[in-house]
Amino acid sequence: MFLRTFGWSVATTIAGLVAAGLIWGAQGFGVVLVLAILEISLSFDNAVVNATVLKRMNPFWQRLFLTLGVLIAVFGMRLVFPLAVVGLTAQLSPTTVLDLALNSDHTADGLTYGQHLEAAGPAIAAFGGIFLLMIFLDFVLGEKDYHWLRLLERPLERIGRLSSASSVIALLSLVLAARLLAGEHAETVLLAGLLGLATYLVVNGLSSLFESSLEGAEEAEPGPRGPQDAIPDLRDAVPAQDAVPAQLHGSSPMLLAGKAAFFLFLYLEVLDASFSFDGVVGAFAVTDNLFQITLGLGIGALYIRSLTVYLVRKGTLDDYVYLEHGAHYAIGALAVILLVSIAHKIPELVTGLIGVAFIGAALASSVRRNRREAELEEAMADLEPVPSGRP
């Protein structure tokens, strides 16, 4: 399973590094390798959260996530999207932005491409920060089957009973960020943050809507009637432990397809973009060559995609139940870091270490929980009465 899942990632890495060495020499080879390693090490929490969503899709959409999704992640989010951000925030034409990106010594309004992208930082941070904050809030305020940090999670669940509590908290956080951190960029931060909130509500809401419609159809027509009735067949073909629902979107045992899966797919792409913002901007500290950045970050993104699928197929989130908690706390920390970065530069290494710390702690707690349960089962088995052998 490991080779089948990571085979394309390994092959792409070899091809990409060989191409980097042939085109840019030893220095380009090293730059691409460093960027790929940084992307992988800083995005492990992204893979865990992606897995909580991907496990709810049927095999077709999982394969699409590894094919079309990779193209979107590499060329869309790490090449085209930064170009679009620079064009919109700096009000430059597409040809001017492309010229800046291809020629690191060219300037527009006195700034290079990398400097323009850095200047767009407040808008990028506000959009990504609020989007990620909504993911975190919907998780900690929602009902959960397991509680990792009980003293924190149980009171938050009671707060979550209030309608739209997560949106209210996110809006208040955005207002505080614009007021205390944005300075002269307050209007830009407010607008970008509202767009991040709207994007989350629309994509997540439409996915939930179609999922509810699918559940209604399942209840009304429980038996398959023909080849088009694919959802029950897919669900029946999956072992029960693989059908445990992700906490992000409620509790539905079915594997999603059609419109519901499509909007979850969009959700994953926006989530990936939110995680990649700081990496794309930070990559200019390593090199100002756009193609080296795209190749290096793209290789890293491919490994994160493969890791996501590997976690789903292995059922890791079901075996280690607190991993999902740790990933969401890492998302909450990243959301706060993005909002703080509106005014203060925070090294990417700090962001990565915080994410690794949360996931490592959650994994350790999961291992201890599994060990306690195993010991309890052994103790219960020892207490069972031994048959006397009498008829």
What digits encode the pLDDT tens for the residues 14-58? 998 999 999 988 888 988 888 888 777 767 777 887 787 787 777
Domain boundaries, the chain: 2-377
Going by pLDDT thresholds of 50, 70 and 90, the confidence category of residue 237 is: very low
**Residue 272 pLDDT:** 75
User: Cα(279)–Cα(293) distance, rounded to whole angstroms?
Assistant: 10
Going by pLDDT thresholds of 50, 70 and 90, the confidence category of residue 264 is: confident
Provide the residue count of the chain. Answer: 391
**Residue 316 pLDDT:** 78
**Residue 45 pLDDT:** 72
Residue 238: pLDDT above 80?
no
User: Cα(351)–Cα(282) distance, rounded to whole angstroms?
Assistant: 12
Interval 192-203: pLDDT, tens:
899 989 988 887
Interval 266-292: pLDDT, tens:
877 777 777 776 677 667 767 777 788
What integer best gives the mean pLDDT of the chain? 78
User: Cα(301)–Cα(37) distance, rounded to whole angstroms?
Assistant: 10
- The more confidently predicted of residues 185 and 212 is 185
The residues with which 57 forms a beta bridge, in sequence order, are: 256
Residue 169: pLDDT above 90?
yes
Residue 70: pLDDT above 80?
no
User: Cα(357)–Cα(359) distance, rounded to whole angstroms?
Assistant: 6
**Phi, then psi, of 164 in degrees rounded to 5:** 60, 30
**How many Å separate Cα 22 from the centre of its chain?**
33
Q: Please name the amino acid found at residue 309.
A: V
Percent of the chain at pLDDT > 90 equals 8
User: Cα(279)–Cα(28) distance, rounded to whole angstroms?
Assistant: 18
**Residue 173 pLDDT:** 93
